[in-house]
Amino acid sequence: MAEKEIDGSSLVAMCLARGGVKHMFGVVGIPVTSIATRAVSLGIRFIAFHNEQSAGYAASAYGYLTGNPGLLLTVSGPGCVHGLAGLSNAATNCWPFVLLSGSSDQGYTGRGDFQELDQIQATAPFSKLSIKATGIDKLPGLVFDALDFAVNGRPGGCYLDVPTDVLHQTVEVSVAEKLISDVEAQMKLRKQDDLVVESSGIQKAAELLRRAERPLVVFGKGAAYSRAEDELRKLVETTGIPFLPTPMGKGILPDTHDLAATAARSLAIGRCDVALVVGARLNWLLHFGEPPKWSSDVKFILVDVSEEEIELRKPSVGLVGDAKKIVFMLNKEIKDTPFCFARNHPWVEAIATKAKDNVLKMEAQLAKDVVPFNFMTPMRIIRDAISNLGSPAPVLVSEGANTMDIGRAVLVQMEPRTRLDAGTWGTMGVGLGYCIAAAIASPERLVVAVEGDSGFGFSAMEVETLVRYQLPVVVIVFNNGGVYGGDRRTPEEISGPYKDDPAPTSFVPGAAYHLVMEAFGGKGYLVGTPDELRYALAESFSAKKPAVINVTIDPYAGSESGRMQHKN
């Protein structure tokens, strides 16, 4: 009797399962539907989206939260193009990700086949590795390569192209098994990039911190990704050095820690003389490490898994390697010759005093109940409702201009990897995808999104996905009727033949976003007063079911471009 054969789709699914993939995100269609159905039959959970863009954002955040590559499945041509959003977002944020896309039949290349595109070329600018399986026998090696490259070294996106004809080719089961086990054996031999950190670098870094007058520890989402929280806590608490998290570094140590310099950010970065920066780039988010925000003679100690990153920034000391391991080594070095900045050391005290003053000023603003809502009043109510939840803290997804900026200052992060926002690229429209990823990656946590109506609108249809999978996600929409809110044009700007059109920044006023959720059977709330908001939060947080809370905000509260007006 002839041996049973399997096709390329089944082989891809088998390789993914054997490669440890537990979840996939994507949109099915020609030629990849069978990959998804076979993967499900092998125990991989496939989260089916409406749009590859959101699915891609979900896969990218999943990579960050779990440390395993987020897998995005797309159809050929336009599906792959939509998937570029997720691939590029993962690349820019340094998150592990694999885009697996069907592509047109190799037999018709260049002749206008169905959804034909040179996908290797299209994906190359955004991926660490762009590879095409030209025959069924190549699939196991390439699937394992893509999964491995995504996590190895600096995490990032990889692309694997699976042409239609390859997915339809067949191979005997025993041959498929042998192909996979051969690759598994090779993978075992492949050395992970385990960078050896020179102990002289560690000594130099410890010495710089010890001799500093105004040291600061800065950490970012690379440190969160590396799960360096215990080591960073030990470092901060044994040395007494104040710390400053980047937006997604928030929560590595609790925002409420007495050494947190978040509320004294300008003072901390403007006056520090030695900054230990762990898993965060000195890019626009950290003002390039240059004056006027930083002092011109600050000495940087950079810890990053990427040698390229260290070379680019030219710090006083560069330590290439995994953040968790390096901070562990630093702690060991410091233990041998300990030092500690007392809480009444002038620098530590100056930061604590400034932080306290700024918090008091903000609390005074937050204390007022302003109706119609500005951004502060509902943000305070949300903050209080979240802190009542205790541990495990919810994953907080945040996007929008004012909504994200004000949310970053007001909402409190107590646990690592519980904040997802627009990130390195300032990408808007990530919210729903990130919510879905967070619910899948951190099933023990509630997910709360606090986002502007503009951010929500990018992918509002994915609320159906929330309902379909019954995910514990509460989406709070700050509805001020547009991008930045109401029409802020000057009288001179309102001219020309289309002057009666709505402003480019406006949406339909009073849009009933809560009904979008109700259309699919989820729970919707429309709120405009503190009591209504408190009720909606209490009910939806305890129900742990998909909900949209549509919060009516004064369209003229906040400012255009939030805190980024200088770039507009």
Residues that bind ligand ADP (CB under 6 A): 93-94, 154-155, 220-222, 225-226, 246, 248-249, 279-281, 283, 285, 303-306, 309, 322-323, 424
193 vs 363, beta carbon nearer ligand ADP: 193
| DSSP state letters, 349-402 | HHHHHHHHHHHHHHHHHHHS--SSB-SHHHHHHHHHHHHHH-SSPPEEEEESSH
Beta bridge partners of 475: 449, 548
Amino acid at 529: T
Query: b vs e for 404-416, b when ≥16 Cβ sit within 10 Å of the residue's Cβ?
Result: bbbbbbbbbbbbb
- Beta carbons of 417 and 495 less than 8 angstroms apart: no
- Of 8 and 70, the one with the shorter C-beta distance to ligand ADP is 70
Query: What are the strands, taking DSSP E only, across 220-312?
Result: 243-245, 274-278, 299-304
CA separation for the pair 174, 437 (Å, rounded): 36
Q: Which is nearer to ligand ADP, 225 or 541 (CB)?
A: 225
Looking at the Cβ atoms of 401 and 471, the one nearer to ligand ADP is 401
Strands of 75-140, DSSP E: 97-103, 129-132
Q: CB of 158: closest distance to ligand ADP in angstroms?
A: 15
* In the complex, minimum distance from the CB of residue 142 to ligand ADP, in angstroms, rounded to a whole number: 24
Q: Which is nearer to ligand ADP, 354 or 419 (CB)?
A: 419
The tokens for 3 are 């041996």
Nearer to ligand ADP, 59 or 162 (CB): 59
Query: Distance between the two ends of the chain, CA-based, in angstroms?
Result: 71
Residue closer to ligand ADP by CB (options 279, 452) is 279
Q: What is the 3-state secondary structure (H, E, C) of 2-17?
A: CCCEEEHHHHHHHHHH
Q: How far is the CB of 221 from ligand ADP (least distance, A)?
A: 4
Structure tokens at 147: 């999964």
**Is the separation of the CB atoms in 475 and 463 below 8 Å?**
yes
Closer CB to ligand ADP, 54 or 424, in the complex? 424
| Cα dihedral 420, 422, 425, 430 sign | positive
Q: How far is the CB of 22 from ligand ADP (least distance, A)?
A: 21
CA distance linking residue 437 with residue 529, whole number of Å: 31
Per-residue HEC secondary structure of 244-259 comes to EECHHHCCCCCCCCCC
Shortest Cβ distance from residue 270 to ligand ADP (Å)? 18
- Angstrom distance (rounded) from CA 267 to CA 254: 20
Answer for the pair 445, 473: CB distance below 8 angstroms, yes or no. no
The distance of closest approach from Cβ of residue 516 to ligand ADP in the complex, given in angstroms and rounded to an integer, is 31
Using the minimum distance from each CB to ligand ADP, give the nearer residue, 44 or 151.
151
Given the complex with ligand ADP, which of 19 and 279 has the nearer CB atom?
279
CB of 216 to ligand ADP, least distance (A): 14
> What count of other Cβ atoms lies within 10 Å of the Cβ of residue 488?
15
Pairing of strands 70-74, 97-103: parallel
Q: Which of residues 172 and 311 has its CB atom nearest to ligand ADP in the complex?
A: 311
Sign, CA dihedral 369-372-374-376, equals positive
Give min distance, CB of 78 to ligand ADP, in A: 29
Closest CA to 205 of 302, 295, 332: 302
**Which CB sits closer to ligand ADP, 309 or 451?**
309
With 0-12 / 13-18 / 19 or more C-beta atoms within 10 angstroms meaning exposed / middle / buried, residue 194 is: exposed
